[in-house]
């Protein structure tokens, strides 16, 4: 079977979980990708064939603030251009199945050409009470029209009540909670390791640079070890000019799994894929979601509810980050709960469940039936986080 995976390249999490899907399905099927930018280059380095497209949106922000209006309604990138490019790609490749990770231009094409498709997402709704709802709610209503027409909506997360993206979801009949979809085969790394450093995976967006500077200052003051994965050579170069002795600056890495499994805890912005990697390795987190970014804020809120991490705000970061680091280093509660989520992640193997889902799709296609809800590997009935 020919499978085409279309990836949103805004943030690296979409790319890594799609690679997990591609690696599993390529064992039995022909798999190719649609992507753009750094996402496309990374997928190529993983030895997959990639068709080049363009963004529908472009993430923008300033001073820790996520600009949702500017990201959706921008002059540089328009959905119509992506649709034109991807229509040509799909007509030429003629896939039997399309898997879309938040790249809704490709989902529209799949529907237009009557090609079966699945959608991968950790967000089909956002609980927001401020002015953002006037933009977010209409967009989400439109996307859910498309979601309902998919063969299934794949949520790469644990089932309720342990779903990290719970507050970004509204229930649909075709939701499948498959478990974490991370870039590594986690079964190879069940052992716990802690080499006593903080891992920062804040990322290379310029409007997050303030966090990295503050982490650097705290390391200089307290002597704590920090490894910063920047995702940008430009940001890494700026940090190298001011870095404290116990800070290691890493522009890019192909060895993230070892960085994660050997750290004490992670500092991140609350992106879903990073949080899935953290709980899969049993690492607690300090999350600093971008201001006015409802998805990150809601993910972070759930992390706080599960007591496997601490949620901070950009607004008072100078006063709170040093306290949070001390709390994380001295209070074993967060590590204990993160390890319990790691045990639960063993039972919900996202890679295995994706393979089973596609096998059911093939069987149903041959028999003319409709795919039933996925029976997940594992059972969470005997687990309690607190």
Decide if pLDDT at 383 tops 70: no
Same domain, 211 and 335: yes
Q: Is residue 383 part of a domain?
A: no
Same domain, 265 and 303: yes
Mean pLDDT of 283-309: 93
What per-residue confidence (pLDDT) applies to 27? 95
Same domain, 229 and 166: no
Q: Is residue 377 part of a domain?
A: no
How many angstroms separate the CA atoms of 191 and 168, rounded?
32
Q: At what angle do helices 13-25 and 37-45 cross, to 10 degrees?
A: 30
Decide if pLDDT at 263 tops 50: yes
Same domain, 168 and 210: no
Same domain, 244 and 190: yes
Q: Under 8 Å CB-to-CB from 240, ≥6 apart: which residues?
A: 249
Domain with 244 in it: what CATH number?
3.40.50.2000
pLDDT tens digits, one per residue of 221-247: 999 999 999 878 888 899 899 999 999
For residue 140, what are its two tokens? 């989400």
Decide if pLDDT at 100 tops 90: yes
Same domain, 121 and 207: no
Q: Is residue 386 part of a domain?
A: no
Element (H, E) at 15: helix 13-25
Domain span holding position 309: 186-344
In percent, the amount of the chain with pLDDT more than 90 equals 61
Residue 190: which of 351, 386, 13, 345 has the closest Cα?
345
What per-residue confidence (pLDDT) applies to 55? 86
Least confident window among 310-314, 358-362, 364-368:
364-368
Per-residue pLDDT band for 71 (boundaries 50, 70, 90) equals very low
Q: Is residue 195 part of a domain?
A: yes
Number of domains in the chain: 2
Q: Is residue 378 part of a domain?
A: no
Mean pLDDT of 261-281: 94
Decide if pLDDT at 73 tops 70: no
Q: What is the mean pLDDT of the chain?
A: 85
Same domain, 225 and 171: no
Q: Is residue 379 part of a domain?
A: no
Same domain, 202 and 148: no
pLDDT tens digits, one per residue of 176-209: 999 999 988 777 666 668 999 999 998 766 678 8
pLDDT tens digits, one per residue of 318-356: 889 999 999 999 999 999 999 999 999 988 989 999 999
Same domain, 251 and 109: no
Same domain, 203 and 124: no
Q: Is residue 374 part of a domain?
A: no
Same domain, 282 and 354: no
Same domain, 303 and 356: no
Q: Is residue 8 part of a domain?
A: yes
Q: Where are the beta strands (DSSP E) in the chain?
A: 2-7, 30-35, 50-52, 61-62, 65-66, 97-101, 117-120, 152-155, 175-177, 197-200, 225-229, 247-250, 265-268, 285-287, 309-311
Go through 346-380 and write b for each residue having 16 or more CB atoms within 10 A of its CB, e for each that does not: ebbbbbbbbbbbbebbeeeeeeeeebeebebbbee
This prediction's pTM = 0.83
């Amino acid at each position: 079977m020919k499978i085409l995976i279309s990836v949103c390249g805004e943030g690296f999490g979409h790319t890594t979980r799609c690679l997990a899907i591609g690696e599993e399905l390529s064992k039995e099927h022909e798999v190719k990708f649609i992507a753009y930018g750094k996402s496309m280059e990374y997928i190529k380095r993983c030895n997959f064939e990639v068709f080049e497209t363009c963004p529908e949106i472009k993430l923008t922000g300033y001073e820790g603030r996520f600009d949702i209006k500017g990201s959706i309604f921008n002059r540089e990138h328009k959905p119509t251009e992506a649709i034109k490019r991807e229509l040509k790609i799909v007509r030429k490749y003629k896939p039997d199945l399309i898997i879309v990770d938040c790249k809704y231009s490709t989902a529209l094409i799949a529907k237009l050409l009557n090609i079966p498709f699945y959608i991968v997402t950790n967000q089909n709704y956002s609980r927001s009470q401020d002015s953002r709802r006037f933009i977010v709610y209409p967009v989400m209503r439109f996307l859910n029209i498309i979601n309902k027409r998919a063969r299934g909506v794949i949520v790469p997360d644990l089932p309720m009540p342990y779903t990290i993206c719970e507050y970004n979801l509204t229930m649909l009949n075709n939701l499948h909670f498959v478990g974490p979809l991370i870039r590594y085969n986690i079964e190879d790394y069940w052992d716990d390791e802690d080499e006593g450093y903080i891992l920062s995976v804040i990322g290379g967006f310029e409007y997050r640079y303030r966090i990295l500077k503050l982490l650097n200052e705290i390391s200089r003051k307290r002597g704590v070890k920090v490894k910063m994965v920047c995702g940008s050579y430009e940001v890494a170069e700026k940090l190298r000019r001011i870095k404290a002795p116990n800070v290691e600056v890493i522009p890019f890495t192909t060895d993230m799994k070892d960085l994660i499994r050997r750290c004490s805890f992670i500092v991140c912005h609350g992106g879903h894929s990073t949080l899935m990697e953290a709980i899969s390795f049993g690492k607690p987190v300090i999350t600093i979601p971008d201001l006015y970014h409802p998805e990150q804020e809601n993910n972070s809120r759930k992390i706080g509810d599960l007591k496997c991490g601490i949620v901070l705000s950009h607004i008072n970061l100078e006063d709170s980050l040093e306290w949070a680091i001390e709390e994380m280093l001295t209070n074993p509660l967060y590590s204990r709960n993160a390890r319990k989520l790691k045990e639960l992640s063993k039972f919900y193997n996202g890679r295995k469940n994706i393979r089973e889902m596609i096998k059911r799709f093939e069987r149903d296609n041959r028999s003319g039936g409709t795919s039933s809800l996925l029976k997940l590997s594992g059972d969470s009935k005997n687990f309690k986080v607190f």
